[in-house]
Amino acid sequence: MTNTKTYYVYVLASKRNGTLYIGVTNDWERRLYEHKNNLVDGFTKRYKVHHLVYYESVNDVNAALQREKQLKRWSRKWKMELIEKVNPEWSDLAKKFVLQGDKK
Residue 103 lies in a domain: no
- CATH number for 12: 3.40.1440.10
Range with the poorest average pLDDT among 12-16, 20-24, 84-88, 95-99:
95-99
Domain for residue 74, yes or no? yes
Contact in structure between 53 and 87 (CB atoms under 8 Å) = yes
- The count of domains in the chain is 1
Establish if 16 belongs to a structural domain: yes
Q: Give the N- to C-terminal CA distance of the chain in Å, as an integer.
A: 30
Beta strand 20-25 pairing with 7-13 = antiparallel
d(CA 82, CA 93): 15
> Would you say residue 18 lies in a domain?
yes
Q: What are phi and psi of 78, to 5 degrees?
A: -65, -40
Is the separation of the CB atoms in 50 and 12 below 8 Å?
Answer: yes
Residue 65 has pLDDT above 90, yes or no: yes
Is 61 inside any structural domain? yes
* Residues 68-77: tens digit of each pLDDT: 999 999 999 9
Q: pLDDT digits over 12-57, tens only? A: 999 999 999 999 999 988 999 999 999 989 999 999 999 999 999 9
User: Residue 35 belongs to what domain range?
Assistant: 7-96
